[in-house]
């Protein structure tokens, strides 16, 4: 009920209130951006309890780093960067862990749970997207996640991933080739 | 949307010039959505509350230590000053001999004290 009143607040006001220790205001930030974070984290790591933990870590890290947020970038971009960094760190950790036991890549941990949809068409869509994400190299999967699941432009993708635009363009092309290969098999 | 259309949309999203802004919305309409489990926000806020309350005793302890350290340091400085003043008043100087209480003692008498002869 109290959180309702924060719905009309702008991001800057919510950040200010959160810095003053107002948990309700921070709760509104979570409510506003959890979907965006879920698309990045679950798009990259799949649907599992680990993704939930990483999602929580994103907001914990955001809360701790709010004093450093100067408002130069949009809050959504700032949160997205944290989500991308934590997700990529988790992928590296998994890769290290699996390389100790097996030659298998980190895709071993990718679980894409297809939600129970009402129609076959909708089930197909979820399955295709899930299999496409799962089959891609993480370097390309993050590009697909930013473009397809988040709707970012090439320039925004480069900014969030902290990559030169040339690198993103080259990865887009290679990711597209890989994706075509995966989708042809489906 | 047919499976072939979804595939085309996926491939198109990786065209550098494609306008992908409405793609997430289109995917959601097709039932492809990502979200965290029920009660996610409350879990984060709970974790934050625990993190804050766990860090509070630690911070209080460090603050307390700082306070105690200053009190001890100031008391020590005051004691040294009082000691210096009392030595000066009793011995009339602040030489090393005055400090260690050897102002009226000769080397020979120390030898006597040490050797017992």
The CATH number of whichever domain residue A143 belongs to comes to 1.10.10.10
Does any domain span residue A2?
Answer: no
- From B73's Cα to the closest Cα of chain A, the distance in A is 34
Residue with the bigger pLDDT between A105 and B85: it is B85
Region B103-109: mean pLDDT is: 60
**Does the CB of B7 have a partner CB in chain A at under 8 Å?**
yes
- Domain end point (choices A53, A71, A102): A102
Residue of A nearest to B17 (CA): A154
Does one domain contain both A21 and A94?
Answer: yes
Q: Write the secondary structure of B67-108 as one string of H (helix), E (strand) and C (coil).
A: HHHHHHHHHHHHHHHHHHHHHHHHHCCCCHHHHCCCCCCCHH
Domain total in chain A: 2
Residues β-bridged to residue A183:
none
Instruction: For residue A47, give how far its alpha carbon lies from the nearest alpha carbon of chain B (Å).
Output: 9
Give residue A102's pLDDT: 59
Say whether A144 and B10 touch across the interface (CB within 8 A): yes
pLDDT at A106: 47
Question: Which residues have a Cβ under 8 Å from the Cβ of A8 and sit 6 or more positions away?
Answer: none
Check whether residue A73 and residue A126 sit in a common domain. no
| Tokens of residue B44, six digits | 């984060």
Whether the predicted model's global pTM rises above the 0.90 cut? no
Tell me what pLDDT residue B116 has: 65
Q: Which residue has the tokens 């950790």?
A: A93
Cα angle for residues A20, A41, A93 (degrees, 5° grid): 100
What is the longest distance spanned by two Cα atoms in chain A? 54
Our measurement of the distance from residue A167's CA atom to the centroid of its chain's CA atoms, rounded to an integer in Å, reads 20
Q: What is the pLDDT of residue B109?
A: 65
**Mean local confidence (pLDDT), B78-90:** 88
Average pLDDT of chain B to the nearest whole number: 82
pLDDT score at A109: 53
Residue B53 has a pLDDT of 65
Q: Quote the pLDDT of residue B44.
A: 94
**Nearest-CA neighbor of A109 among A171, A182, A42, A58?**
A42
Among residues A156, A157, A160, which one has the least CA distance to residue A144? Answer: A157
Q: Is the pLDDT of residue B60 over 90?
A: no
In a domain, A31, yes or no: yes
Does one domain contain both A95 and A120?
A: no
pLDDT-based confidence at residue B33 (cuts at 50, 70, 90): confident
Query: Phi and psi dihedrals of A111, rounded to 5?
Result: -120, 125
Which of A67, A102, A137 delimits the end of a domain?
Answer: A102
One domain for residues A109 and A98: no
What's the distance, CA A84 to chain centroid?
6
What phi, psi does A46 have (nearest 5°)?
Answer: 90, 180
* CA A63/CA A22 separation, integer angstroms: 11
**Cβ pairs A/B, distance under 8 A:** 129
How does residue B56 score in pLDDT terms, banded at 50, 70 and 90? low
Decide if A120 is inside a domain.
yes
Residue contact B3–A55, C-beta within 8 A: no
Q: What is the predicted pLDDT for the residue at A35?
A: 94
Same domain for A97 and A122: no
Residues from chain B that touch A37, judged by Cβ atoms under 8 A, are 36
**Shortest Cα–Cα distance, B93 to chain A (Å):** 57
Q: Do B24 and A39 touch (CB under 8 A)?
A: yes
Same domain for A35 and A11: yes
What is residue A1's predicted lDDT score, i.e. its pLDDT? 47
Locate A65 and state its tokens: 């780093």
With CA atoms as reference, report the closest residue to B44 among A33, A182, A97: A33
Q: Name beta bridge partners: A46.
A: A111
* CATH number of the domain encompassing residue A27: 1.10.1740.10
A111 and A95 inside one domain: no
**Residues A110 and A64 occupy one common structural domain:** no
Q: How far is B52 from chain A (nearest CA, A)?
A: 10
From first to last of its 186 residues, what are the pLDDT tens digits of chain A?
455 678 888 999 999 999 998 999 999 999 999 999 999 999 999 887 889 999 999 999 999 999 989 888 899 999 999 999 999 999 888 877 766 665 554 454 555 554 555 566 666 788 899 999 989 999 999 999 999 999 999 999 999 999 999 999 999 999 999 999 999 887
Q: Does residue A109 belong to any structural domain of this protein?
A: yes
B101 has a pLDDT exceeding 80: no
Q: Does residue A1 lie within any of the structural domains? A: no
Three-state DSSP at A18 gives helix
* A92 and A111 in a common domain: no
Residue A19 domain boundaries: 7-102
Q: Is residue A134 located within the same domain as residue A51?
A: no
Same-domain pairing of A55 and A130: no
Say yes or no: A135 and A96 in one domain. Answer: no
Domain final residue pick, A72, A102, A132: A102
The full set of domain ranges for chain B reads 53-117
């Amino acid at each position: 009920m109290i959180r309702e009143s924060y719905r009309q607040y702008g991001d800057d006001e919510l950040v200010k209130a959160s810095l003053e220790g107002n948990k309700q205001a921070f709760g509104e930030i979570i409510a506003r951006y959890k979907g965006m974070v879920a698309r990045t984290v679950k798009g990259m790591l799949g649907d599992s309890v680990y993704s939930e933990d990483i999602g929580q870590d994103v907001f914990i890290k955001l809360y701790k780093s709010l004093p450093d947020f100067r408002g130069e970038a949009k809050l959504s971009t700032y949160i997205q960067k944290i989500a991308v960094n934590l997700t990529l760190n988790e992928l590296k950790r998994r890769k290290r862990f699996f390389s100790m036991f097996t030659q298998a890549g980190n895709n071993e941990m990718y679980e894409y749970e297809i939600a129970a949809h009402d129609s076959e068409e909708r089930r197909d869509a979820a399955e295709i997207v899930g299999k496409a994400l799962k089959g891609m190299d993480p370097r390309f999967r993050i590009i697909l996640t930013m473009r397809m699941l988040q709707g970012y432009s090439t320039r925004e993708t480069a900014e969030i991933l902290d990559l030169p635009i040339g690198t993103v363009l080259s990865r887009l092309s290679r990711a597209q080739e890989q994706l075509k290969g995966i989708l042809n098999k489906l | 949307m047919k499976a072939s259309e979804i595939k085309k949309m996926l491939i198109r999203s990786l065209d550098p010039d494609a306008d992908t802004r409405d793609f997430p919305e289109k995917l959601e309409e097709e039932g492809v959505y990502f979200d965290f489990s029920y009660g996610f926000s409350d879990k984060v806020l709970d974790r934050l509350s625990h993190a804050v309350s766990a860090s509070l005793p630690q911070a209080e302890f460090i603050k307390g230590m700082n306070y105690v350290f200053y009190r001890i340091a100031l008391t020590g400085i005051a004691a040294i000053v009082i000691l210096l003043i009392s030595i000066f008043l009793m011995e009339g100087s602040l030489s090393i001999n005055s400090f260690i209480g050897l102002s009226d003692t000769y080397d020979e008498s120390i030898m006597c004290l040490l050797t017992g002869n």
